[in-house]
């Protein structure tokens, strides 16, 4: 398998060019988690992978309680299937939280204060009394645990809620609304069997490789904070279920049984900055076209509301979502040497994305 085959395989297996998934929950389960700090675009990218049609279909899965949005794997938002939430939190949260210990000390969020704050949150949300961040911040202030006059108040509220998510106390509420509201995990996510760490890591590695392959184990280490030793032990235990290959001098792994054929061949895709087909891969990434508008400048992965334009299996430019009188529009910045046919394909990809945004 060469670079071209690798990039084509990723697009197909991630269901951007392969057969669409039956529903949004299948998409999220196959990818294990879907990064979602830009929630509307994350829903749109999920919708493009399945028959949901638009991000509204993803909201329906959230309202049904099949998908939740929370902080898991890394200190950032993800959509995750409810059935996977508990074991993923138990596996990855301790390392995420320990990596943020210094920041929490700077914010004055020492353990006694955090424990008291979590008790207040649990009491306020009990009985499916869902609430947003503003309401919960006010509750923490009323309890005397945080002071609104403190310049750090907003960050403190955000990090208390983050810790509540990492510890499995709260997650998104099952509501068909775009505003994020919190709910108690124990009230909205069914209990699932516990797994020991070795079993959980094997499950994580198996599904990550199946849903993202061909992919490097170093990409998994960044993605889920597992060690290289743990990842290598897991692939060794998976035996013939995973297969090693070398592409451009890089060791990659894929799952032959999970590979999908290209059934929706397209020339171009508009991919969100935080989409799994872009952000997951540091090894054998998308090559940049010779006359890319950014030249040799590095890609900025922190900007929301836009992303990469892929055409002919190359990064040929960037796009940005705007709204004009409530109507979604896409602003393109492209390689000026693209042909008319390539630009037509990119315009079609932009239309598909606009149609998927709720």
Query: DSSP string spanning 239-303?
Result: GGGSEEEEETTEEEEE-GGG-----S--SEEEEETT-HHHHT-SSS-PPBPTT-TTTTPPP-TT-
Please state the pTM of the whole predicted model: 0.94
Q: How far is CA 125 from CA 118, 137, 184, 261, in A?
A: 11, 13, 6, 45
Q: What's the pLDDT score for residue 54? A: 79
DSSP symbol at 184: E
Q: What mean pLDDT, rounded, does the chain reach?
A: 94
Cα–Cα distance measured from residue 327 to residue 330, given in angstroms and rounded to the nearest whole number = 10
Mean pLDDT calculated for residue range 242-271: 95
**Per-residue pLDDT for 346 more than 80?**
yes
Cα–Cα distance measured from residue 120 to residue 232, given in angstroms and rounded to the nearest whole number = 42
Q: Name the token pair of 95.
A: 């390392």
Phi, psi of 255 (to 5 degrees): -110, 105
The DSSP element (H or E) to which 218 belongs, if any, is: helix 217-224
Q: What's the pLDDT score for residue 326? A: 78
Q: What's the pLDDT score for residue 295? A: 87
Q: What's the pLDDT score for residue 301? A: 53
Crossing angle between the packed helical segments 24-31 and 197-212, to the nearest 10 degrees: 110
pLDDT band at 324 (very low <50, low <70, confident <90, very high): confident
Distance, C-alpha 110 to centroid of its chain = 29
Q: What's the pLDDT score for residue 300? A: 61
pLDDT band at 13 (very low <50, low <70, confident <90, very high): very high
The DSSP element (H or E) to which 158 belongs, if any, is: helix 153-166
Least confident stretch, 55-64, 90-99, 210-219, 293-302: 293-302
In 3-state terms the chain splits into helix, strand, coil percentages (rounded to 5) of: 45, 20, 35
Q: How far is CA 308 from CA 143, 271, 275, 316, 331, in A?
A: 45, 5, 10, 8, 12
**Per-residue pLDDT for 247 more than 70?**
yes
> Tell me: the pLDDT tens digits for 154-196?
999 999 999 999 999 999 999 988 899 999 999 999 999 999 9
> Tell me: the pLDDT tens digits for 58-109?
999 999 999 999 999 999 999 999 999 999 999 999 999 999 999 999 999 9
Distance, C-alpha 88 to centroid of its chain = 14
Mean pLDDT calculated for residue range 281-303: 84
% of the chain residues with pLDDT over 70: 98
Residue 101, CB half-sphere, CA atoms under 13 Å: how many?
A: 6
Cα–Cα distance measured from residue 262 to residue 17, given in angstroms and rounded to the nearest whole number = 5
The CA-to-CA distance between both ends of the chain, in Å, stands at 38
**Per-residue pLDDT for 254 more than 90?**
yes
**Per-residue pLDDT for 358 more than 80?**
no
303 versus 209: which is more confidently predicted?
209
Mean pLDDT calculated for residue range 194-203: 94
Cα–Cα distance measured from residue 82 to residue 69, given in angstroms and rounded to the nearest whole number = 9
Strand segments (E) across 118-267: 170-172, 182-184, 243-247, 250-254
Mean pLDDT calculated for residue range 241-258: 96
Q: What's the pLDDT score for residue 297? A: 80
**Per-residue pLDDT for 298 more than 80?**
no
Q: What's the pLDDT score for residue 294? A: 87
Q: What's the pLDDT score for residue 52? A: 65
Spans of all domains in the chain:
268-356
């Amino acid at each position: 398998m060469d670079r071209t085959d690798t990039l084509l395989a990723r697009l197909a297996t991630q269901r951007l060019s392969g057969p669409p998934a039956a529903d949004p929950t299948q998409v999220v389960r196959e990818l294990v988690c879907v990064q979602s700090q830009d929630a509307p675009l994350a829903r749109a990218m999920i919708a493009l992978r399945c028959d949901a049609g638009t991000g509204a279909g993803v909201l329906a899965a959230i309202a049904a309680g099949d998908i939740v949005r929370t902080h898991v794997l890394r200190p950032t938002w993800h959509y995750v299937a409810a059935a996977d939430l508990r074991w993923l939190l138990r596996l990855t949260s301790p390392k995420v939280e320990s990596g943020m210990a210094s920041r929490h000390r700077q914010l004055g969020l020492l353990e006694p204060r955090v424990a008291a704050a979590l008790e207040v949150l649990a009491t306020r949300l009990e009985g499916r009394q869902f609430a947003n961040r503003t309401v919960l911040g006010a509750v923490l202030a009323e309890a005397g645990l945080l002071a609104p006059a403190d310049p750090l108040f907003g960050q403190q509220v955000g990090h208390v809620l983050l810790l509540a998510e990492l510890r499995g106390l709260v997650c998104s509420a099952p509501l068909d609304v775009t505003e994020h509201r919190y709910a108690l995990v124990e009230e909205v996510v069914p209990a699932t069997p516990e797994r020991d760490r070795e079993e959980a890591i094997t499950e994580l590695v198996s599904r990550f490789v199946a849903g993202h392959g061909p992919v490097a184990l170093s990409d998994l280490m960044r993605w889920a904070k597992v060690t290289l030793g743990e990842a290598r032990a897991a692939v060794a235990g998976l035996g013939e279920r995973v297969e090693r290959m070398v592409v451009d001098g890089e060791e990659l792994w894929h799952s032959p049984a999970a590979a999908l054929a290209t059934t929706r061949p397209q020339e171009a895709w508009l991919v969100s900055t935080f989409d799994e087909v872009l952000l997951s891969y540091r090894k054998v990434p998308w090559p940049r076209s010779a006359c890319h508008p950014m030249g040799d400048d590095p890609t900025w992965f922190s900007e929301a509301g836009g992303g990469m334009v892929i055409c002919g299996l190359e990064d040929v430019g960037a796009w940005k979502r705007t709204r004009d009188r409530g109507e979604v529009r896409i602003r393109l910045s492209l390689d000026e040497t693209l042909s008319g046919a390539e630009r037509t394909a990119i315009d079609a990809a932009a239309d598909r994305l606009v149609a998927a945004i709720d």
